[in-house]
């Protein structure tokens, strides 16, 4: 009897983002593991067990799911957005590398999903229309000095920057400090997008200039996109503005 | 009568990646515009018109779709992967900014999809598990000097690098030159992933070291991911290796 582990991306929240592949992986699992609010998004099915856990317990959750799958069960670990972007897939790989040899022979499937930056970008236009990077502002797992070095490198080389994990209760100052730092590199008029809870009832997407951007409006459910020098805002009568980064760069201006 | 334009991401190729939101947008359109092979992926529906066009005609296609929608039609432009990542959404925004005022009041929806780097990453583990960037190697729309500057910045700051548009018939040397350049910054053992046609019958995903990576195996359907110093390979008996980037960075090593 061979177990199976699927690491499944739910997308940003609404079922309209859930791919058929993800639906099938969830339907085929005996047992689901995940952060409680993500599990709550998956419709209940008779006979399917659920093991909710807290947000910061990724490695323990991954190990529990692997142990269960190694006993022959069909297990799914659910992840918001895409499991490969600041989410559960890396935690599962870490546990497989550190764990018993038998975990390496498990049938492992990673099922991609719409990650937050794609959903936020789609709502506002095409800010990721040219070269961009994705950077976690959490300094739980890396030194803040490295975050700053990456902000400097990305902004000065002209990448649009998607900021994941901008704030949490335990990390109140990081986003403000990052915005302050980006002001050294980018024009004050650079568009900054705050995308909160896209696809959920409390969705809110707004645009500010880098000069006026206020870190206080972001919370744990927010994804922030900071434009490059090329990023443009198109006003629309009676509609929200479009923000996009053109496909062409005429000269090396970054 | 108000027209509507949806820019729809089909994901990497197989229908298992097509979100319910994208299915609905395609089903609700009177007319579809897109690159021929992408349109061929959408099931035919009686009464729905199709306007296939060539790969390099993004702006003309976007303008034609906008003109059509402005006449009151419900139009969808299809895009491979995610429309906001090196695809049609930016071309549509460019045309809206440059076009007649009426285009700004159109009902515009951008429907995200699974972009190639997420699909390739999911097949091999979690190489995008920590900070990463997405960079187009096409120098049709930007100077090669800028590509090199961005490769230098990303590699030396420790970002994993996803390379879109690595080669084409008209751009045969760019990927080899980029790999050569990245060898200046990264250890020879750095994992390089070549992900071709994920989700399609001719799918092929392989891993090499940066030292051994051969640009010749990439074609237009390939997405290349170059790891950071932190990216790891986990061998698995009887299964392909896992490649992942740990969530934690212990010290500033980049």
B68-84 residue pLDDT tens: 999 999 999 999 999 99
Yes or no, beta carbons of A16 and B11 under 8 Å apart = no
> What average pLDDT does range A103-114 have in this prediction?
97
Yes or no, beta carbons of A133 and B129 under 8 Å apart = no
pLDDT at residue A161 greater than cutoff 70:
yes
* B118 closest CB neighbour out of A93, A112, A121: A112
Beta carbon pairs, A and B, within 8 Å: 265
| Chain A residues lying within 8 Å of B132, measured CB to CB | 133-134
Rounded Cα distance, A117 and A203, in Å: 14
Closest CA in chain A for residue B143: A251
Mean pLDDT of chain A: 95
Yes or no, beta carbons of A146 and B252 under 8 Å apart = yes
Rounded Cα distance, B115 and A40, in Å: 26
What percent of chain B is modeled with pLDDT above 90?
Answer: 91
pLDDT band of residue B56 (cuts 50, 70, 90) is confident
| Chain A residues lying within 8 Å of B92, measured CB to CB | 126
- What pLDDT score does B232 carry? 98
Tokens describing residue A58: 């990724």
Closest CA in chain B for residue A244: B90
- Bridge partners, residue B81, by sequence: B11
pLDDT band of residue B54 (cuts 50, 70, 90) is confident
What percent of chain B is modeled with pLDDT above 70?
Answer: 98
Does residue B233 or residue A1 have the better pLDDT? B233
From A215's Cα to the closest Cα of chain B, the distance in A is 21
pLDDT in tens, B13-51: 889 999 999 999 999 999 999 999 999 999 889 999 999
- pTM score: 0.97
Yes or no, beta carbons of B126 and A143 under 8 Å apart = no
Mean pLDDT of chain B: 95
pLDDT at residue A253 greater than cutoff 90:
no
Rounded Cα distance, B214 and B226, in Å: 13
> What average pLDDT does range B151-172 have in this prediction?
96
- What pLDDT score does B216 carry? 96
What percent of chain A is modeled with pLDDT above 70?
Answer: 98
| Chain B residues lying within 8 Å of A234, measured CB to CB | 93, 96-97, 104
Yes or no, beta carbons of A131 and B131 under 8 Å apart = no
- What pLDDT score does B253 carry? 47
Yes or no, beta carbons of B154 and A159 under 8 Å apart = yes
Tokens describing residue A90: 């890396």
Helix (H) or strand (E) holding A174: helix A174-182
> What average pLDDT does range A32-55 have in this prediction?
93
* B131 closest CB neighbour out of A111, A136, A232: A136
**Mutual orientation of helices A174-182 and A144-156 as an angle, nearest 10°?**
30
From A132's Cα to the closest Cα of chain B, the distance in A is 5
Best mutation site among B82, B105, B112 for testing chain A: the one with the most A CBs within 10 Å? B112
- Specify whether the CB–CB gap between B190 and B212 falls below 8 A: no
Does residue A14 or residue B243 have the better pLDDT? B243
Radius of gyration of chain A (CA): 20
From B56's Cα to the closest Cα of chain A, the distance in A is 12
> What average pLDDT does range A56-67 have in this prediction?
94
**Which alpha helices (H) appear in chain B, and where do they start and end?**
20-27, 36-39, 58-70, 88-98, 116-124, 144-157, 174-182
- Specify whether the CB–CB gap between A174 and A163 falls below 8 A: no
pLDDT band of residue A130 (cuts 50, 70, 90) is very high
* B142 closest CB neighbour out of A115, A134, A249: A249
DSSP-assigned letters across all residues of B47-110: T-EEEEE-TT-HHHHHHHHHHHHHTT-EEEEEESB-TTSSSHHHHHHHHHHHS-GGGGGSEEEE
- What pLDDT score does A251 carry? 60
HEC assignment per residue over A34-65: EEHHHHCCCCCCCCCEEEEECCCCHHHHHHHH
> What average pLDDT does range A40-61 have in this prediction?
91
Closest CA in chain B for residue A12: B112
pLDDT at residue A66 greater than cutoff 50:
yes
From A105's Cα to the closest Cα of chain B, the distance in A is 6
- What pLDDT score does B1 carry? 52
From A47's Cα to the closest Cα of chain B, the distance in A is 25
């Amino acid at each position: 009897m061979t177990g199976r582990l699927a690491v499944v991306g739910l997308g940003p929240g609404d079922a309209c983002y859930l791919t058929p592949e993800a639906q099938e992986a969830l339907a085929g699992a005996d047992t689901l593991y995940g952060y409680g609010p993500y599990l709550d998004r998956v419709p209940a099915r008779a006979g399917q067990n659920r093991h909710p856990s807290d947000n910061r317990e990724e490695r323990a959750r991954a190990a529990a799911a692997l142990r269960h799958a190694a006993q022959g069960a069909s297990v799914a670990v659910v992840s918001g957005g895409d499991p490969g972007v600041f989410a559960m897939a890396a935690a599962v790989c870490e546990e497989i590398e550190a764990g018993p040899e038998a975990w390496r022979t498990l049938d492992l499937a990673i099922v991609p999903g719409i990650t937050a930056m794609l959903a936020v970008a789609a709502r506002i236009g095409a800010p990721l229309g040219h070269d961009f990077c994705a950077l976690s502002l959490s300094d739980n797992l890396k030194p803040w000095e490295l975050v700053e070095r990456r902000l400097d490198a990305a902004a000065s080389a002209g990448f649009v920057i998607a900021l994941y994990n901008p704030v949490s209760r335990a990390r109140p100052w990081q986003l403000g400090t990052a915005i302050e730092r980006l002001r050294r590199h980018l024009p004050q008029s650079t568009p900054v997008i705050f995308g909160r809870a896209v696809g959920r009832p409390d969705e809110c997407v707004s645009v500010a200039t880098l000069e006026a951007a206020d870190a206080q409006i972001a919370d744990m459910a927010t994804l922030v996109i900071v434009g490059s020098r090329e990023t443009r805002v198109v006003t629309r009568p009676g509609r929200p503005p479009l923000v996009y980064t053109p496909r062409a760069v005429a000269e090396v201006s970054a």
